[in-house]
Chain A
Amino acid sequence: MISNEDEDLEVNPVMVTLKLKAPDLYRRAADEQLLVCIPCAASSQGLPLNRTTLETHLLKPSPFFAGLYESMNGKTVEVEEGMLETRSGFLDNRRVRILFEELHYNENFKPFRVVCISQPLQGGVRPLEDRKRGKDAQAQVDTMEQCKTFLYALHLVDISPMTRAKTSIREFFHTYRIFAKGYLGHVTPKLCSLFDQVADELIRSNRDRLEDYSRGGKKWSMFRRSVEVVLMEDTKLARKDQEVGVSRDSEDVVNAHEKLYLRLRDAYKEEDARIERAITLLKSDSVKDFGADPVLEKCDFAGPVKLLRDFQKLPCALDKASTLKDVTNAIHASVLEAIEKGRVPEQTKIGSDDLLPLFIFALVQASPRCIYSNAELLQHFTSFGSMDSEISFHAANLRAAADFLLQSASHVKQPSRYTPSTGVPPEEALTDEGLELPGLPATSKPSKRHSDSTLPRQRGIDQNEHEKSSRKPSDPVTSTDVRKAGPEETKLPTRSLTTRQGSLNSFGAIKDEEEEMQLGEFLLALKSEDLPTSSGRGVPF
């Protein structure tokens, strides 16, 4: 958003005057760690930049009253909740908003505050703040629609670079028909450099309208982001590669956002599927199970879950990123609501120790599809992330959640680590109560590997621990049963755990894979598992 909040104080006329024309005042303010109030540039038109004005805007805290300040020329101001209110010594009463604050350091590296205010405490012009803010609100570029509005409002005269770029985008998709995992390092910068080039060409060919859009500045970033998003939206491509050239009216036409996403979905369908399996397994887990503070279980996270539910349906990466930000805000809103209702302690703060588990929880509950593809898209195929640290942070959270779920899926996926029917690792199956196994003490403890907290929580494993007490000798087939059976009789079990709600589904995925395993593979797998030997610790295979 272009607003006063993005103003560079180094070029603000009041700040410049203070530093250059009254360096003694500035030094005193710095040395005495005063509060320096700088009216925003838009409001300082007509403001007499003399010593009196400057002294009026350098405030010293009252030693007696909190929130009360005295200017260097004896006027008093009260500071409360982001507002400055003139009290005594001023011609009129004003309430002035603090737009933003910077922490400056003096020569001795002692901090003093510099606040940019919406209006001078005395004199100057009253900026048309509301109107300006209304206009600024339109200047946001956090969604595709906002980008369109922003770009179209510029009334560019020469848009030929956009037209040329559409051809380049089509060529890009024609060249990179398949996104090969692990070989995307040189692919992604190509798109980004294309958008950089279009933005620069547009600025050059519309110099009259875009003269203050110098590269690297805030306006340039907004412009560059809008160009990328709108260009991708306006570039139409065939859904299937062999149908390049079909008419725009065809149902098989997609825009470049969708095309990019489809390509990534193709490339990462395996990861997406594994995550979906992991989600099935983790569905009944609570926020505490994911590692969040147990008190947060009393919060209602329906809001963030709802936002995430249709996340994958958004075609534009910027809209996805914006939704992720909304999800984080919704998580905070849920906690705030619980605080207000007294369900959660008042002093609760949400750092990443809680945010990430809550985010993963919401993601699991919402179960959007193609999580990994989306994480890839946001992390590698957008340039606006690198320009906006906050967007980048939310994209990183999705990436972290995707990787965590993928790891969880990996742990439950390994078929040979579990006995076919129970999902119990061989060592644990052998140590289960009630199982009389030769050469193994019934009291053996589960291996530490499976309770290692460094691993993502393993549903199958935890479940095993959970159900140890309830399992009976008559429960499903164990590795012993498999070993007792001859090769012909040995059938890979088709039963799943039934001892806990949801477990049937949870292990369905494992079961299906194992059903497909041939006996030979199964035996090999068991051999490679480094089973305990007969030397008193386990059973010979």
Chain B
Amino acid sequence: MADVRGKNNYKIVLLGEGRVGKTSLVLRYVNNTFSDKQQTTIQASFLSKRINIGENTCNLAIWDTAGQERFHALGPIYYRDADGALLVYDTTDTESFAKVKNWVKELRKMVGQEIVLCIAGNKIDLDKERQVEKSEAEEYAASVGAYHFQTSAKLGKGIEETFLALAKKMIEQRQENDSRQSARRSGGNAPILVVADDTSNGGSGAASGSKACNC
């Protein structure tokens, strides 16, 4: 499939156990607008939001996923090609935090470091029932190279910061990838050129190399 994703389009996948508040979280973030279209909606499975950070305007496409255990195996269908993942757990439920750890393992194994991870501990408004300590979650997030935020979809706390951090990192990562690719294109193929075809220049060498691969 031709990869013609717009350079400003970013895909975020929401993962986490069922009923931890993924839907409420994303609805809080996306529906907090003046637009009449958004406010009446009840649908929260696919949402988009346009943001501008610095000079970068981005379209965030947020894909919600079914969190029930029976659908776990379907995860790759949704996180394929994602630029970022928001992993949500319920701070009053240790099981949901364990589930997040499983997702992190799976994402790192299947997608690698390419995907930006952000862990959100939701329902901090129910602080009396808290079962997952903030320090423990932060420590874990740091150990796997993920951001960690505490959120409350009910109170609208921490949501903006969560998505902002995710978006900033995704932009940064894509820019790094782009510059790495362009550097590779400009200089990385020189040795191949020498071996493959003495007469060709850098660009064509890369082209001939890729042709050879396709055959």
Residues of A within 8 A of B (CB): 8-10, 79, 81-83, 98, 100-105, 109, 111, 113-115, 186, 188-189, 192-193, 195-196, 216, 221, 224, 291, 328-329, 332, 335-336, 339, 348-353, 355-357, 380, 382-383, 385-387, 389-390, 393-394, 396, 399-400, 403-404, 407, 453-457
Contact = CB atoms under 8 A, between A and B. Distances in A.
A291 B44 CA distance: 17
Which of A115, A387, A394, A455 counts the most chain B CB atoms within 10 A?
A387
Which of B22, B65, B72 counts the most chain A CB atoms within 10 A?
B65
B53 A105 contact: yes
Contacts of B64: 351-353, 355
A353 B72 contact: no
Interface string B32-73: 011111010111111011111111010001011111111111
Given A328-B43, A351-B22, A353-B66, A9 B37 contact: no
Given A98-B35, A400-B78, A103 B49 contact: yes
Contacts of B57: 8-10, 102
Helix, strand, loop or mixed for chain B's interface? mixed
Given A102-B50, A216-B4, A454-B72, 7 more contacts: A10-B55, A104-B51, A221-B6, A387-B6, A393-B63, A394-B46, A457-B70
Which of B69, B74, B160 counts the most chain A CB atoms within 10 A?
B74
B2 interface: yes
Nearest to B36: A82
A386 B1 contact: yes
B1 A349 contact: no
Interface in B65-90: 65-74, 77-78
Contacts of B208: none
Contacts, number: 179
B24 interface: yes
Contacts of A114: 52
A79 B34 contact: yes
A380 B80 CA distance: 13
B41 to A, nearest CB: 8
A408 B98 CA distance: 26
B18 interface: yes
Which of B41, B64, B67 counts the most chain A CB atoms within 10 A?
B64
Which of B1, B35, B36, B168 counts the most chain A CB atoms within 10 A?
B1
A403 B74 contact: yes
A64 to B, nearest CB: 19
B27 interface: yes
B9 interface: yes
A291 B19 CA distance: 11
Given A351-B22, A353-B23, A403-B73, A216 B6 contact: yes
B50 A403 contact: no
A399 B67 CA distance: 17
Contact of B43 (A216, A332, A404, A457): A332
Given A291-B70, A456-B70, A393 B46 contact: yes
Contacts of A10: 55, 57
Contact of A104 (B18, B36, B52): B52
A348 B42 contact: yes
Contacts of B45: 328, 350-352, 355-356, 393
A394 B45 CA distance: 10
Nearest to B6: A216
Contacts of A221: 4, 6
B66 A349 contact: no
B116 to A, nearest CB: 16
Given A100-B50, A356-B66, A407-B73, A115 B44 contact: no
A353 B23 CA distance: 8
B69 A400 contact: no
A145 to B, nearest CB: 23
9 contacts: A104-B53, A189-B2, A216-B7, A339-B42, A350-B23, A350-B45, A356-B71, A387-B6, A389-B63
B42 A332 contact: yes
Contacts of A100: 35, 50
Interface string B4-20: 11110101001000110
B164 interface: yes
A398 to B, nearest CB: 10
A336 B49 CA distance: 23
A82 B35 contact: yes
Contacts of A389: 9, 11, 46, 48, 61, 63
Contacts of B44: 349-352
A8 B26 CA distance: 24
Contacts of B23: 349-353
B3 interface: yes
Contact of A386 (B4, B27, B53): B4
Nearest to A114: B52
